[in-house]
Amino acid sequence: MLVLILAVPPVNSQDKSKETQKVQDDMKVLQGDWICIMEEYEGLLFTKDQIKEMNKRMKIDKNSMTIKRVTREKLGTYVGKFELDPTTNPKSFDFIGKGPTGEYSEWKGIYELTENEFKVMYVKKGGVRPKEFKTVKNVDGTYIQFKRDKD
């Protein structure tokens, strides 16, 4: 009789602590108000005039995200919760909430963050998490650059 024993290394509590600290650091930087300065959807880049007209703004309060924007002269709001994972490469996030008409909305994406700039690339539920900050024509994907709103 042959017995095979598989050993699984224990999770290093120091590594877990470092991961937790990375999440907390990025969450701290994200808090506050942000404004969209660039958006690309399915390979189409919005013009500066379209960006200005849309007036897309994002507010982060703890792990709650609210995004407001104007489309066809109507205010639309996305509101929900998000989770960051800064240990992946690129860093990743998940969002679950409601869209402008109250419909369930789920995104998974990647992000880059500095003190004054937040870049996100995401797909809606069912899509494959992006690996780069680039959209493709006729393929689900949105790339947005936000800057900190200091007004």
pLDDT above 90 covers a percentage of the chain that reads: 81
Mean pLDDT, to the nearest integer, of 76-86?
95
What pLDDT score was predicted for residue 2? Answer: 47
**Residues 50-79 pLDDT 10s:** 999 999 999 999 999 999 999 877 899 999
Please choose, from the candidates 39, 33, 1, the residue with its C-alpha nearest in 3D space to the C-alpha of residue 151.
33
At 151, the pLDDT band (50, 70, 90 cuts) reads low
Rounded to whole angstroms, what are the CA distances from 76 to 25, 53, 67? 30, 13, 8
At 95, the pLDDT band (50, 70, 90 cuts) reads very high
Q: What is the mean pLDDT of the chain?
A: 90
Mean pLDDT, to the nearest integer, of 25-36?
96
- What DSSP string describes 49-94? HHHHHHT-EEEEETTEEEEEEEETTEEEEEEEEEEEETTSSSEEEE
Of 10-24, 67-81, 103-117, give the range with the top mean pLDDT: 103-117
Name the helix (H) or strand (E) containing 27: helix 13-30
What pLDDT score was predicted for residue 1? Answer: 46
Contact status, residue 121 vs residue 5, Cβ threshold 8 Å = no
Mean pLDDT, to the nearest integer, of 13-40?
90
What pLDDT score was predicted for residue 72? Answer: 75
